[in-house]
Structure 1
Amino acid sequence: MTTSNETTLTLRRPTMGAARVIALIPARNESARIATAIDGLHAQTRVPDEIIAVTNNCTDCMATAIAARDAGAAVLDLHGVRGKKAGALNAALDDVLPELDDQDLILIQDADTILTPGFVESAGAAMRRKVGAVGGVFYGEPGGGLLGQLQRMEFQRYAWEIHRNGDRAVVLTGTATLFRVRVLREIKAARLAGRLPGGSSYYTTASLTEDDEITKAVKTLGYRTMSPAGCAVTTEVMATLPKLWAQRLRWQRGALENLRTYGLTRVTAPYFGKQIMQGVGALAFALYLAFVALQLAYLGRLGVSSFWTAIGAVFVVEKVVSVWSAGWRSRLLAALLVVELAYDLFQHAVYFRALADLVLRREEQWATT
């Protein structure tokens, strides 16, 4: 590993018997936001023993590293490391893991994310029995106009679904996740032995969504993944449609690619089912819109059915209830329905574009958002 200051990080020893928590913040040109992320870690009820900013191939003239040091973090400044975020994390983990015990914990957090003060403590408490990693429950930051509001509603529903599912994490979000050191070591060993796909390190550099892939790796090794309500994080929302399109296309394409890589297994079966249901739902919605258009074209009006009106009312109530905690703006938008239906159409377009790219084997594209 090459670092700009050619120093080796030395981690502090913990109190006898206590597990250390080491926070890694991968960052590239994040001078404007990284100090806020580090401040959020210093404000934790259980402050990490070490906070390390992992700056990788920055082009902002060391501004990210300086901002991180000024905020009280150590800096591992990498140059020439390939594989974007996943490659930087692999290099950083190779650097710090030899000094850690199996029971120690690694917190990996994005530089544009702020953790609620109880995140580390809640995540540590959730590390029971066969739990191998604890991911954050992410919420959108303020701003972004109507598009930002729709994303916040989407994130709120995702949090609602996690809670209804017993706090089990579907994906170990890249915004913030706490790993057992033992599990990370097992992932690398399993990849080297050919028991897991994805290369020869902790994170795979072959996936557009390394957080989704490592979730499947953790589960394939027999560990549980959790996202308790106390592990809330606030993350960036996309302020423009092109940025949102690029982000969601990367997420969707990455999820499909990961399923193709792993194949159908006990772990991936629910993920395959979710993708299939997403496609069926998108097709059903398209057929419904076509039916409505035909009614208007040939009859000049919409037919009214008490049965389907009742079904629609239940649908609206579910949408409102699922965003209730997000405030009155979210409730109003959910009740109006039409705006969210347009947002759903956008999501369906992303799904079919990603599926087409996969089938046609178009080259995967990484878009910075």
Structure 2
Amino acid sequence: MRAVTGPQPIARPRAGRRRQARTPRGHWPLASLIVVIFALGLLIEGFTHGILGENAADEPTAGPGTTAGPASVVDGGPVVAPAGGRNGSPVSYRIPRKTAILSFDDGPNPDWTPKILAVLREYHVPADFFTIGAHVADYPDIVRQELKDGDEVGSHTYTHPNLAQVSTWRENLELTLTQNALAGAAGIHTRIMRMPYSSEANAVTAADWRAAMTAGRDGYLMVFTSVDTRDWARPGVAKIVKAAIPAGGAGAIIMLHDSGGNRSETLAALPRIIKELRQRGYHFDTVTQALKLVSADVPATGNQHLVGTLLVDIQQGSDWAFTAFAIGLIVLTSLSVLRLLVLVGFAMAARRRELSVARRIPPGAPPFLPDVTVIIPAFNEEAGIAATVQTMAESQYRGRLEIIVVDDGSTDSTAQVAASLGYPFVRVVTQRNSGKPGALNTGIRQAHSDILVLVDGDTVFQPDTIGKLVAPLADPEVGAVSGNTKVFNRKGFLGRWQHLEYVVGFNLDRRMYDMLGVMPTVPGAVGAFRRSALHRAGGVSHDTLAEDTDLTMALCRGGWRVVYAPGAIAWTEVPATLSALWKQRYRWCYGTMQAMWKHRHAMVDRGGSGRFGRLCLPYLWLFQVLLPLLAPLIDVFSIYGIVFLNPVQVGVFWLTFTALQMLIAGYALRLDGERLRPLWVLPFQLIVYRQLMYLVTIQSVITALLGTRQRWQATKRTGVFTDQATTDQPATSTS
């Protein structure tokens, strides 16, 4: 601990001092825009990949008698113009004899398509690639390579749905998006397409034909197959080669796949198919060249290329963001779980240390009973000031006690109520409003004791709290002690949620901070301070809205030890409405970030203060700022998983994480001597209450980025202690 060279003056309150407050404008539209953009990105990602199903193993099975296409199609060739004849009648095309057309579905794929293209180039064989638009947008370079090699590119829809089972608008959307993707990736539109899950023309059902007619009215040439190798099933290279050979020298369109799974067998079979067909006198061509038709791939217009480029950029941006966020989600989830386990580990160690210290105290050892001054800053605390003063004055503490109530310009009867209680050692000091730090500094200057207990005006103590709170100050290295704040008005969802937050969040954290010697906050509700430590820190600062955190960090940087006394219990009134809760937590969060920024240089300090900066500040930035900022996106991602991925897996993940938190919450409640009954509200806390806290963090960060100054705001009290004696407090352990 640094040597104290002498007391430094505590700043006097500045009369009438108020922080300028400017309401930050535009931050919620900005935050909403970010969430909307992220949601749209996930929607695009979900549409393109979450429902993407190019595996032909999912192909619907046609039952007997379901073939219902026109006779000219069923008995015709594998290429059909659904509306190409007179009066919009279908026209069928047969492939010339000894002509083989290799066609590949479901690509492009970054692993298999380039290898297939390499084989085709080696044997100087063109092919038709029926591409999925989502893959085209992901891998435009491969599509450009296909066209450069003289291959033909066709449409296989954007996400590979069964067009016979989707609505007309969905089919039109699929085809339009695919054309846009081709325009953006390679600057072309295509005239040919193959419907997903289609095979030979004689297997066309009535529903298939309706979908084909919809595409035909847009000018598409439908390309079925003559020979289906069923390579997607990976039956073996020999079977794929055998299935690819047409019977009797007939011309054929041979269906293969370059995506949708492991295509190693297709790749191995391709050279053998080419060699076998050439030995049988076949030559290879593309669909339109074999039929002497206009080329399938035509240049896109400038507008089409612009729209397509935008689609490709959005698709790739969504893919990149999705991948980055998925990695981030795994990292943050792992860190959250690790944090919970670490907190429990430190809590168990802290409990063992408490028991060990208690056992080492000799029987009959005299207690540490220094003179104590309790300082209560009060602004419009008429509803609860009497209960607060009463519990201090009637404490079991056997040392000399002084109580100072600093009425900070109240507009109600706070001062009169406190003065009328009749306790001879209670003094009421009135002053013009200067804010809570100014009121505390006034009390510090007026105090006669070297040990000071700083208490909020909405707090009541248990009879033994003062004694347990000041006991650690017997060690001259200890500059401040944090007590154990508990929620008094814990009825209803809001009260129970805050009760769990205090017990599970705040107090588990404090046990860890205590074990590491890096306590960042002695709460304003219950804290004891060595007067010399306060002087060394320059008193309570006006610089931030979280004066308690600012002061505690200053003490840690000054080399003082700050410890936690879990048995020093104080009961506080928490906000009873969402509006009041928002204001309180916004002040806490914004003020804490101010204090963290103010003391950021602690990370490069030497000695004990450097330990505080290097351990505590990164922890606070990570788990109190960064994680809450990203948490809403995680929730959006969870909804994405339910809609587009496996909802069972998402549900199991959420239930597992919730169960872990309930186990840890149960341990924390037992550690604090609390009943386990409030645990039933924990799942609702994760769904509702925690989201509110995330929004508070978002607003605080944006406010800080905009440079907006906020003033200290007092919380309206309901006077929950007025008609209830301290003996009516919720049951808890005082150990």
- Alignment TM-score, normalising by the size of structure 2: 0.42
- The alpha-carbon distance between structure 1 residues 223 and 305, as it changes in their structure 2 partners (threshold 3 A), is same
Whole-Å separation in 2 of the counterparts to 1:258 and 1:367: 17
Q: Match of 1:365, SS?
A: coil
- The alpha-carbon distance between structure 1 residues 313 and 94, as it changes in their structure 2 partners (threshold 3 A), is closer
Aligned pairs for 1:241-256 (under 5 A) are 241-256=578-593
- The alpha-carbon distance between structure 1 residues 290 and 31, as it changes in their structure 2 partners (threshold 3 A), is closer
Equivalent position of 2:429 in the other structure: 77
Equivalent position of 1:67 in the other structure: 417
Equivalent position of 1:9 in the other structure: none
- The alpha-carbon distance between structure 1 residues 310 and 69, as it changes in their structure 2 partners (threshold 3 A), is closer
Whole-Å separation in 2 of the counterparts to 1:29 and 1:250: 18
Whole-Å separation in 1 of the counterparts to 2:433 and 2:489: 34
Could you list the per-position Cα deviations for residues 308-340 of structure 1 after superposition, in whole angstroms to 9, with x for gaps in the alignment?
Answer: 465554344223433344324312223xx1433
Equivalent position of 1:183 in the other structure: 533
Could you list the per-position Cα deviations for residues 268-311 of structure 1 after superposition, in whole angstroms to 9, with x for gaps in the alignment?
Answer: 33123222233443355434322332234346x60327984655
Deviation at 1:93, TM superposition (A): 2.0
Equivalent position of 1:219 in the other structure: 556
Equivalent position of 2:522 in the other structure: 172
Equivalent position of 1:149 in the other structure: 496
Deviation at 1:216, TM superposition (A): 0.8
**Corresponding letter in the other structure for 2:446:** D
Deviation at 1:116, TM superposition (A): 1.5
CA contact (8 A) 1:295 1:302 kept: yes
- The alpha-carbon distance between structure 1 residues 279 and 64, as it changes in their structure 2 partners (threshold 3 A), is closer
Within the alignment, does 1:123 sit opposite 2:469 as a pair?
Answer: yes
Whole-Å separation in 2 of the counterparts to 1:314 and 1:176: 30
Deviation at 1:165, TM superposition (A): 5.0
Whole-Å separation in 2 of the counterparts to 1:306 and 1:256: 34
Per mean C-alpha deviation after superposition, the further-off stretch among 348-357 and 17-26 is 17-26
Query: Please, what is the CA RMSD of the aligned residues?
Result: 2.6
- The alpha-carbon distance between structure 1 residues 297 and 34, as it changes in their structure 2 partners (threshold 3 A), is same
- State the aligned residue count: 331
CA contact (8 A) 2:385 2:457 kept: yes
Whole-Å separation in 1 of the counterparts to 2:618 and 2:701: 13
Could you list the per-position Cα deviations for residues 155-194 of structure 1 after superposition, in whole angstroms to 9, with x for gaps in the alignment?
Answer: 1112234345556644111012111122122222xxxxxx
Within the alignment, does 1:356 sit opposite 2:702 as a pair?
Answer: yes
Whole-Å separation in 1 of the counterparts to 2:658 and 2:495: 26
**Corresponding letter in the other structure for 2:594:** E
Within the alignment, does 1:276 sit opposite 2:627 as a pair?
Answer: no
CA contact (8 A) 2:662 2:679 kept: no
- The alpha-carbon distance between structure 1 residues 349 and 105, as it changes in their structure 2 partners (threshold 3 A), is same
1:87 to 429, 434, 438: 438
Whole-Å separation in 1 of the counterparts to 2:626 and 2:402: 47
2:637 to 282, 287, 291: 291
Aligned pairs for 1:16-95 (under 5 A) are 19-46=370-397, 48-60=400-412, 63-71=413-421, 72=423, 74-82=426-434, 84-95=435-446
Equivalent position of 2:279 in the other structure: none
- The alpha-carbon distance between structure 1 residues 264 and 43, as it changes in their structure 2 partners (threshold 3 A), is same
Whole-Å separation in 1 of the counterparts to 2:651 and 2:591: 42
Give the % identical residues. 23
Q: Match of 1:65, SS?
A: helix
CA contact (8 A) 1:153 1:326 kept: no
Deviation at 1:219, TM superposition (A): 0.8
CA contact (8 A) 2:490 2:498 kept: no
Whole-Å separation in 1 of the counterparts to 2:648 and 2:636: 14
Per mean C-alpha deviation after superposition, the further-off stretch among 30-39 and 214-223 is 30-39
- The alpha-carbon distance between structure 1 residues 317 and 215, as it changes in their structure 2 partners (threshold 3 A), is same
Q: Match of 1:136, SS?
A: strand
Whole-Å separation in 2 of the counterparts to 1:54 and 1:256: 27
Runs (5+) with no aligned partner, structure 2? 1-11, 14-367, 603-609, 716-735
Equivalent position of 2:675 in the other structure: 327
Whole-Å separation in 1 of the counterparts to 2:679 and 2:427: 43
Q: Match of 2:647, SS?
A: coil
Q: Match of 1:264, SS?
A: helix
- The alpha-carbon distance between structure 1 residues 171 and 285, as it changes in their structure 2 partners (threshold 3 A), is same
- The alpha-carbon distance between structure 1 residues 69 and 283, as it changes in their structure 2 partners (threshold 3 A), is closer
Q: Match of 2:597, SS?
A: helix
Within the alignment, does 1:110 sit opposite 2:447 as a pair?
Answer: no
Who wins on radius of gyration, i.e. which is larger? 2
Equivalent position of 1:12 in the other structure: none
CA contact (8 A) 1:114 1:235 kept: yes
Q: Match of 2:648, SS?
A: coil
Per mean C-alpha deviation after superposition, the further-off stretch among 220-229 and 41-50 is 41-50
Equivalent position of 1:346 in the other structure: 692
CA contact (8 A) 2:669 2:676 kept: no
CA contact (8 A) 1:55 1:75 kept: no
Per mean C-alpha deviation after superposition, the further-off stretch among 85-94 and 204-213 is 85-94
Runs (5+) with no aligned partner, structure 1? 3-16, 189-201
1:263 to 600, 619, 623: 600
- The alpha-carbon distance between structure 1 residues 23 and 298, as it changes in their structure 2 partners (threshold 3 A), is closer
